[in-house]
Amino acid sequence: MARATAHPDHQCISSEDIQGTEVYGADRKNIGEIDHIIIDKISGRVAYAVMSFGGFVGLGHSHYPIPWAALTYDTSLGGFRTSITEQQLKDAPEFSDDSWQDRDWEARTHQYYGTPSYWEARPGGL
């Protein structure tokens, strides 16, 4: 069960309720789940959702940071919907733990997924 449905009538959600929430592609097929989120320390904006998919019983799964703006909560699915495909995730700009310090990597990633960058978004825009 998606944890994001813990309080379906609330506008806000706790980060602990997002973890484990299913992510669905445009075809409504499950493509993974949210492992955790990344928050910009200065602005407080959610920057990325780190998706987990693949593997068996938690083994061999992959993690991919995707821009938060690439997700939309879908109440009918009880999870997040995205137009990102599994192949797009596999072909995304290579990620490492140092990527969080590399604005060029972030810019390439947002451009790759066709989403506005969180650092240039206007307050209330995301």
In degrees, to the nearest 5, what angle opens at C-alpha 94 toward C-alphas 104 and 19? 100
Q: Is residue 50 within 8 Å of residue 63, measured between CB atoms?
A: yes
How confident is the model at residue 31, as a pLDDT?
A: 87
C-alpha closest to that of 14 among 3, 26, 22: 3
Residue with tokens 């309080």: 7
Range in 8-12, 42-46, 48-52, 86-90 with the lowest mean pLDDT: 8-12
In tens, the pLDDT along 21-42 reads: 999 998 999 888 998 999 988 8
Please give the model's pTM, rounded to 2 decimal places. Answer: 0.78
In tens, the pLDDT along 68-123 reads: 999 999 989 989 999 998 788 888 887 777 777 888 988 999 999 999 988 886 55
Structural domain spans, the chain: 12-113
- CATH class for domain 12-113? mainly beta
